[in-house]
Chain A
Amino acid sequence: MIQGNKALFDIFRHPQTIQALSQKIHQEALNLSQPLKIMEVCGGHTHTIMKYGLKQLLPHTIEFIHGPGCPVCVMPKERIDQAIALARMSDTILLTLGDMIRVPGSASSLVQERAKGCDIRPLYSPMDALKIARENPTKKVIFFAIGFETTTPMTAALILRADDEKLHNLFFHINHVLVPPAVGAIMDDPSNRIDAFIGPAHVSVITGSKIYEPIVKKYGTPVVVSGFEPVDVMEGILKIVLQKNKHRSEVEVQYSRAVTRQGNQKAQAMIEQTMTVRESFRWRGLGDIAHSALQLNESYGHMNAETVFSQHLSYEPIDDHKLCICGSILKGLAKPNDCTVFGTACTPNSPLGSCMVSSEGSCNAYYRYGSAL
């Protein structure tokens, strides 16, 4: 590589360190009393594991179960249909993030609607919404907000700024979801086979590591909050193996360079100021989960696209394609290549299920990086 080891991430991809961790894990895994099934909650971890070929460096007794932590993957079709309905309103600009625009709803996707002439724009940063709203005062600008605890503070900051500026034409359709209730729902399913979790570092940068304490207490599964570089993931796995061998179950932080127990309290305060927890939210593949998502606070009701444009929105649940097993994959009960349509009827270009759509989805990761190698 040009310019050698100057880049910050190089130390977290250091070959000797990765190999040393691999050896240590192999050694420790000899003491495991039974095979270890680790759920990496976040799609980002799935990608690290696939992209860097980490499975090839681990003993066969360690198995990964790919979790539901992909904000695009867990969005039910009816909410995508809502985004489409909003985009189809006259004089409207619909904003969202990344590959949300590719996800198929019941009959269309935002990409297809954009090709038909709707003004739909993927943003790099939610803050760009301010500029778009200012520059288009006669248009309704709607931010279709998605993501876990990581992206929620940016939406909260945007709401506060829009309120400060009294932007009358910026609206929010909030789909922010929460990690702990989803993990709880998976563990409450009696068919689950999970022994431990790798928790996503960026979520805990915001929330702190404390959000996993109730899970460890209730289910006795170790949770190690880990970063996304190969060294981070390998070290996280080692910590889980060590906990198992010593019969401990604790919340441990591998990503100590940015995660504290309490997290970013300023960000938490901004979220609290702008959003409240929903009674229930329907997850694609997982169904209704109580208290698992956020909505706009009543005091910002005038910005809430779900109420202001309610006459355009349907909440009728829409099920996935009957051949799609995204639900079982999101629960960790099946692997992408267990699916009969994986790579045939369902590919990143024409996805049947959400796990294939998003670059953070596990089917997409298997497809891109090759599960057979």
Chain B
Amino acid sequence: MNTSATPLVVADGLHRAFHVARGADPVVAVDDVSFTIEAGEALGLVGESGSGKSTIARILAGLERADSGSLRVAGIDRRTVGHGAAARLARARQVQMVFQDPYGSLDRRLTVEQTLTHAMRLHGLAGGRDAKGGAAELLERVRLSATQARLKPYQLSGGQRQRVAIARALAVEPAVLVLDEAVSALDVSVQAQILELLDEIRRESRISLLFVSHDLAVVDEVTDRVLVLFGGAVVEEGRTQDVLRKPAHPYTRLLIASVPGPGWDPHDVIARRAAFELSRSDAST
């Protein structure tokens, strides 16, 4: 990989706070987070609920704004792009997102083929027959049949719906694909098929992935590098296989020890958690 060139994604000092109630302190969801993603690289985000991983994913996808910090994709600043329809479309073309719930993220009135042709037409990528041909190619890439192209979401299984969501994201040929818990709701065998599909897509193209998951084993399988988030901040980062096997930060160690496996004991996890909280409060006083 050419490391001298500027990475595809450069996020620097991202910050995001939410005002939850009048008079209450804002909740800091993302606290000075910086990262890069090279073309063709897969970056993982791990951490517990509320650690900020989904907010970061949504900022990259343009669904959420950062209060401060900068975010550049292929050299273009995502924060200064205009608000008009054309600017929004340009932003959406660079980065596409796949969500956890394939039931909620597809238009239930559209067939699979229509879902894909709409996405292509919206971005002016294909018209008329071309769109149909494009849809057929996409379906082949995600291993769905021509028969399934005529079905609507309710006629598909969860795994098939997630394939459609991935195909729709690929329809606009994005540089970055953001996956937020995209395989978490799937059975293990279906999950394995989707992970294999992602692997194929990465080998075929130079697409970059931002992969958000609470499942460390899945992150281990999919990503090259990982950021560990706690309370909105990055506490550890590095090559995924190193971070998950030789964690340096106490929070990463806690996260790994909490995952059920041989010798796992819930009381032990609680004791570790308490020790971690205590060490943090000691450090801050």
- State yes or no: do A and B come from one complex: no
Which A residues are closer than 8 A to B by beta carbons? none
Which B residues are closer than 8 A to A by beta carbons? none
